[in-house]
Amino acid sequence: AQSVTQLGSHVSVSEGALVLLRCNYSSSVPPYLFWYVQYPNQGLQLLLKYTSAATLVKGINGFEAEFKKSETSFHLTKPSAHMSDAAEYFCAVTPYSSASKIIFGSGTRLSIRP
Amino acid sequence: NAGVTQTPKFRVLKTGQSMTLLCAQDMNHEYMYWYRQDPGMGLRLIHYSVGEGTTAKGEVPDGYNVSRLKKQNFLLGLESAAPSQTSVYFCASWGPTSGGPWYFGPGTRLTVL
């Protein structure tokens, strides 16, 4: 079975500071991993995905994530936060073998301080 | 190419009323999903479909029914709405490409009084 844990339901950083959103997963089979972003009153938009190629994945808007199998982690980072990054971020997992379901974490709300 | 669309965008129901939410996708995706989103709980899978004419239960199926009569459409029904079904509902679709992302609709905000 697959599961996702996002540490911290709310993260606040200053504009220009490093953004780090944490995601740990549990999967009995090799996983695909995703980060989605949700802006207020909108649907979910794909930020980036890991599908067993490079372990460091670059996404849109300057975000990237590193797949660490030994730590079962897929943390999302951005070197310098921008006010427009304020949103809710969801980590998600699905197994290679049967991508019929995707399991989401509970989400992390990112706030940016001026 | 509109992607995934949902109708309606907003709806207010009284307890016991029924309604149907429509999801449509124009990407020829086999898989379609209905999720509900509640504060602090992320997205929870209600029902999903792996192809035309098929449906399956997800994590929280009680009180909902679905139908996939056409490949491009996935309907979510509430036969007798309850206040606990107040939520934001998202539809998603996924294509056959291995590792391809899920595409989400803009959501339907439902309030049950």
d(CA A23, CA B106): 24
Interface touch A106/B101, C-beta < 8 Å: no
> CA angle A92-B97-A89, nearest 5°?
20
Distance from the B103 Cα atom to the nearest Cα atom in chain A, whole angstroms: 8
CB atoms within 10 A of CB B8: 12
- Of B31, B40, B42, Cβ closest to residue A100: B31
Interface touch A46/B40, C-beta < 8 Å: no
What pLDDT, on a 0 to 100 scale, did the predictor assign at position B36? 95
Low-confidence ranges of chain B (pLDDT < 50): none
* CA-based nearest residue to A21, from A84, A85, A75, A78: A75
Q: What amino acid is encoded at B63 in this protein?
A: G
How much of chain B, in percent, has pLDDT values that exceed 90? 74
Using the Cβ of B36 and the Cβ atoms of chain A, whether some distance falls under 8 Å is answered with no
pLDDT tens profile B3-28: 899 999 999 999 999 999 999 999 88
Using the Cβ of B82 and the Cβ atoms of chain A, whether some distance falls under 8 Å is answered with no
Q: What are the C-alpha distances in Å from B3 to residues A43, A76, B25, B42, B69?
A: 12, 26, 6, 22, 19
d(CA A90, CA A108): 7
Return the structure tokens found at A78.
């951005």
pLDDT tens profile A18-64: 999 999 998 877 788 999 999 988 889 999 988 877 889 999 999 99
